[in-house]
Structure 1
Amino acid sequence: MTATATPARLRAAAIATFLVFGINGLVFASWAARIPAVTETLSLTPGQMGGLLLCLAVGSLIALPTAGFITERIGAANTVRVAGLIAALAAAGVALSLSAATTMGTAVSLFIFGIGIGLWDVAINIEGAHVEHRLGRTIMPQLHAAFSGGAFLGAIIGAGLANIGIGLPAHLFVIAAVVAVATQWLPRYFVPRIPEPTQPTGDVASPQARSAWSDRRTLLIGVVVLGATLTEGAGNDWIAKAAVDGLEVTEANGAFMFATFVLAMTAMRFFGGRAIDAFGRVVVLRGSMAAAAIGLTVFVVAPTLWLALIGVALWGVGAALAFPMGMSAAADDPKHAAARVSVVATIGYVAFLAGPPLLGFLGDAVGIRGALLAIGLPILVALVLAGAAKPLPKK
């Protein structure tokens, strides 16, 4: 980041980063809230739907290991521009494929979509951590609240469109246009960073990157974030479908259930910073994982819609803060922040993207609602290892 990063420029960068997080959430929820419509359009079982989700996950997992390197080479702003264009074109491809009812076309488009989303996610987390350090105050939970807020808006829009019978292809075409415009415009307000030729970059082969992948604390934080992001990802991808199948509610009510989960996450991310300041990361992490485990269990066993809604809300509260706290913990040492944030984000997104498809395969055997109980073990592991996120001593 350059010396021209004045307070006004930093505030503008924080706002732009906040908005890019929000657009990211809007895009994701526009897809996730209407997964039941995809399964119906393509006549898929939960396991087959899991295979489609795995295509998205594989695309992102291919992009994630190189995302830090690309961000260091061309900057976060240009990475978001490239990633946003890829995601927009792929979303249009998904829309066209669904219109033609072709599963193969949808799978290929989701794979490309995953590449765009993977690059986008890592770039904005690196930018967010960088701005956070320059501002000298915690903003990462609020940035992830923007993601959740965008996802809530996307879920509400999805529920409304499903309720009035507007198809997913038309919905996705509009979203693709929004993404294409926003991701080309907003990054102009990011604070530019010029990589120094003599300094290590985020290259996966560089000494700095190798050090990040072998740093014990970074890897433990990654495991904690893995458990947390599996919790969040499973909720994002499967709450709507689990409600429709397990509680026999309408698609609109399933989308509303998902919106409740996202709203709970959003509220906790906006206001949870006070809890972190008061009690510390470790205590809040453990409390979060406990709340997620209880809420998940209530949702799975609830016999009524209203009790399931309570479980979903508690699940959302528990899933809210772990990922942004993990990003902040990885960035505690500014000298190694970019490489370590990239490592933790990569580990976390493995669970966020690959876990839910695997739950779909399990859902073929036991039902998707019951399959969600499988994430209880990673939640407990994250709870036990939460101490790894303890802030580093100030130098």
Structure 2
Amino acid sequence: MSAPSESIAGESGIAPGALTRWRNAELVAFALGGVVVAAFGSRLPSIQSSLDVSKAVLGAAITGVTLGALAGLSAAAWIHARFGARRGVGASLVVSALGLGVIGMSADLARSVVGVTTGLVLVGLGTGTLDVLINVEGAALERAAGRTLMPLLHAAWSGGAVIGGALGALSAAVGLAAHLQFALEGAAVVGAAVYVVRGLPAVAVEVDARPAEIGSRRDRFLAWCRTWSSVRLLLIGLVMLGAEFGEGSANSWLTLAARAEHHHSDAVAASYFVLFAVGEMSARLLGSSLVDRFGRVAVVRVTASAGVVGMVVFITTDAWWLTAVGTVLWAIGVSMGFPLGMSAAAESGPNSAARVSVVAAIGYTSSLVGPPVVGLVADRVGLLDALWIVAALLAVAAALAPAVRARVGAIAPSSP
């Protein structure tokens, strides 16, 4: 069975070798983004110890990542238009690596909260900008290749996050100082950035065939503001909101819910977090072939619906194996909304970078806002009952799945 109305058509005429280099560069770029954002998370206890500050102060410093990411998301469209993807992606990776170095030196050597916060802002700025640029490139790569690749690319990000977290845990276990770990990782990111830049096309491949608006800086800003009035973009954003709210809530509350509410041991509760990460990555690895066969709408609808079922199972049952089943379905539920929403936004009209920045801002804001909202509600009704919010938003995402349908004219059958 195929979905001819939603298969992506290759129409670039790019040589197969160049296309392979482009794809590999994108995979590495996505993985590097995951490595960077996960690198410092596992070292927060040692950073707090070095700074000798309370959790509240450390939490305030971590908001620097949020502020930097929002600035990066906002600036990405201008950077893409002004400098192009190659230079923008390379610079974003360098800024991210620099941020890691500043965090490590400020924590271990200078003992400066301001310095750590500055480093976190740089990490957020670099990864926020990077995320928009590589998703725009990913959508263009899909069009050039004639098949769905975005879920695979986002699986690389998930894999990078697993690697980054593992490197942090290993470094902490062997007693490697955070500033040395971050310096080594930062150097590796810069080195890999050279490979990424060389693999990206020198000339931009626009996702949408219609010309982007050209004019003064004021005209471009107004054009970006007008993208926020696009009903379709906002609907795509709501699909991504449900997925990102669910993922952010899992990252913050899944383990605690399993331990405190379901009364599983610390080891079992921790294993659910690993199960969630592996489940999400596995769903994304399989997602590309499923989208090419059944279409974006069906995949988003089915996965989001599976997430709703998973939330019901997770919330209402206590048996360890049912909690595990609920966790896997939860992971599947949040796996596809973001990458397929990015694809849909990029091809929805001219100036794909601006359009991606709009839906990315919606998605990332929900990921950041989701955990504290669940926490506030949990204080009143309990953590498990608060997680019904995730179930409701995934149900909304399933209902709005048609918003991610491929645009007519940008697609064609990839197989008979």
Please classify the TM superposition score into its range, dividing by the shorter chain length: 0.7 to 0.9
Contact 1:155/1:255 (CA < 8 Å) preserved in 2? no
Partners of 1:236 and 1:103 lie apart in 2 by 25
1:125 Cα shift? 0.5
Partners of 2:320 and 2:169 lie apart in 1 by 16
Choose which of 70, 73, 76 in structure 1 pairs with 2:85: 76
Point out where structure 2 has 5 or more consecutive residues left out of the alignment. 1-11, 411-416
Choose which of 102, 112, 121 in structure 1 pairs with 2:122: 112
TM-score by length of 1: 0.83
In the alignment, structure 1 residue 133 sits paired with structure 2 residue 143: yes
AA in 1 matched with 2:224? A
Partners of 2:189 and 2:80 lie apart in 1 by 19
Choose which of 26, 30, 35 in structure 1 pairs with 2:35: 26
Contact 1:329/1:390 (CA < 8 Å) preserved in 2? yes
CA RMSD of aligned residues (A): 3.6
In the alignment, structure 1 residue 234 sits paired with structure 2 residue 258: no
Q: Which stretch shifts more, 227-236 or 8-17?
A: 227-236
AA in 2 matched with 1:129? A
Look up the SS of the partner of 2:366 in the other structure. Answer: helix
| Alignment-derived partner of residue 93 in structure 1 | 102
AA in 2 matched with 1:108? T
Shift in CA distance, 334/118, structure 1 to aligned 2, threshold 3 Å: same
| Alignment-derived partner of residue 327 in structure 1 | 342
Give the alignment of 1:234-313 within 5 angstroms: 234-239=249-254, 256-296=271-311, 298-299=313-314, 308-313=323-328
Partners of 1:329 and 1:56 lie apart in 2 by 27
Partners of 2:49 and 2:376 lie apart in 1 by 17
Contact 2:47/2:108 (CA < 8 Å) preserved in 1? no
Aligned length: 390
Shift in CA distance, 319/50, structure 1 to aligned 2, threshold 3 Å: farther
Contact 2:242/2:396 (CA < 8 Å) preserved in 1? yes
In the alignment, structure 1 residue 11 sits paired with structure 2 residue 20: yes
1:385 Cα shift? 2.0
Question: What is the percent sequence identity of the aligned residues?
Answer: 34
Partners of 2:356 and 2:379 lie apart in 1 by 35
Contact 1:159/1:255 (CA < 8 Å) preserved in 2? no
1:31 Cα shift? 3.3
1:145-166 Cα offsets, whole Å, 9 max, x none, are 1111212223333444455555
Point out where structure 1 has 5 or more consecutive residues left out of the alignment. none
Contact 1:60/1:353 (CA < 8 Å) preserved in 2? no
Shift in CA distance, 104/129, structure 1 to aligned 2, threshold 3 Å: same
Partners of 1:83 and 1:25 lie apart in 2 by 13
Shift in CA distance, 364/65, structure 1 to aligned 2, threshold 3 Å: same
Contact 2:132/2:353 (CA < 8 Å) preserved in 1? no
| Alignment-derived partner of residue 200 in structure 2 | 190
AA in 2 matched with 1:67? A
Contact 2:139/2:347 (CA < 8 Å) preserved in 1? no
Contact 1:156/1:256 (CA < 8 Å) preserved in 2? no
In the alignment, structure 1 residue 339 sits paired with structure 2 residue 349: no
Contact 1:288/1:317 (CA < 8 Å) preserved in 2? yes
Look up the SS of the partner of 2:141 in the other structure. Answer: helix
Shift in CA distance, 372/56, structure 1 to aligned 2, threshold 3 Å: farther
AA in 1 matched with 2:125? I
Look up the SS of the partner of 1:272 in the other structure. Answer: helix
| Alignment-derived partner of residue 181 in structure 1 | 191
Choose which of 161, 166, 170 in structure 2 pairs with 1:156: 166
Partners of 1:187 and 1:236 lie apart in 2 by 31
1:219-238 Cα offsets, whole Å, 9 max, x none, are 21112112212222333455
AA in 2 matched with 1:200? E
In the alignment, structure 1 residue 394 sits paired with structure 2 residue 415: no
Q: Which stretch shifts more, 384-393 or 60-69?
A: 384-393
Contact 2:13/2:144 (CA < 8 Å) preserved in 1? no
AA in 1 matched with 2:241? L
1:313 Cα shift? 2.4
1:89-131 Cα offsets, whole Å, 9 max, x none, are 1112222344366544433321221111111111111111111
Contact 1:29/1:236 (CA < 8 Å) preserved in 2? no
In the alignment, structure 1 residue 381 sits paired with structure 2 residue 390: no
| Alignment-derived partner of residue 216 in structure 1 | 231
1:182 Cα shift? 1.6
1:215 Cα shift? 1.7
Larger Rg: 2
AA in 2 matched with 1:128? G
| Alignment-derived partner of residue 144 in structure 1 | 154
Shift in CA distance, 163/19, structure 1 to aligned 2, threshold 3 Å: same
Look up the SS of the partner of 1:214 in the other structure. Answer: coil
Look up the SS of the partner of 2:187 in the other structure. Answer: helix
1:7-40 Cα offsets, whole Å, 9 max, x none, are 3212211110111101111222233455566667
TM-score by length of 2: 0.79
Shift in CA distance, 5/208, structure 1 to aligned 2, threshold 3 Å: farther
1:193 Cα shift? 2.6
Partners of 1:388 and 1:243 lie apart in 2 by 34
AA in 2 matched with 1:138? T
